[in-house]
Amino acid sequence: MSGGDDDYVYDEASGEWLSASDVRDRAAAAAAGPEVRDAVGNLLADGDSVVLVKDLTVKGAGQTLKVGTVIKSIRLTGDAQEIDCRHAGIKGLVLRAEFVRKR
């Protein structure tokens, strides 16, 4: 055991006894949200620019976004695989992170 008077809490989800500091660390990580990674594993953040790595047909817009199209100023949605974007003529565009690469 680590030296100290750290309290332990039973975590019903994992079935483990965790120190109070571990519980705080896990809660902070959960509050931060999931990590969003692009097609090659780069960590994405709000405001990043991305490039498409695949031609994508946009449902409802009648457009195809081509490989190499730059999407500026993305926003993370809280989902580990979805990013919110803006592109000329397409409102409410949501892309999967697996189809983009950080620029």
Question: Does the pLDDT value for residue 6 go beyond 80?
Answer: no
Question: Does the pLDDT value for residue 43 go beyond 70?
Answer: yes
Terminal C-alpha separation, the chain: 45
Question: Does the pLDDT value for residue 25 go beyond 90?
Answer: no
Q: How much is the average pLDDT of 57-66? A: 88
Q: 31: Cβ–Cβ under 8 A, 6 or more apart, which residues?
A: none
CA–CA separation, 59 and 62 (whole Å): 6
pLDDT of residue 74: 94
Q: How much is the average pLDDT of 66-89? A: 91
Q: Tell me the pTM.
A: 0.67
Structural domains of the chain ordered from first start: 1-32 (no CATH), 50-102 (2.30.30.40)
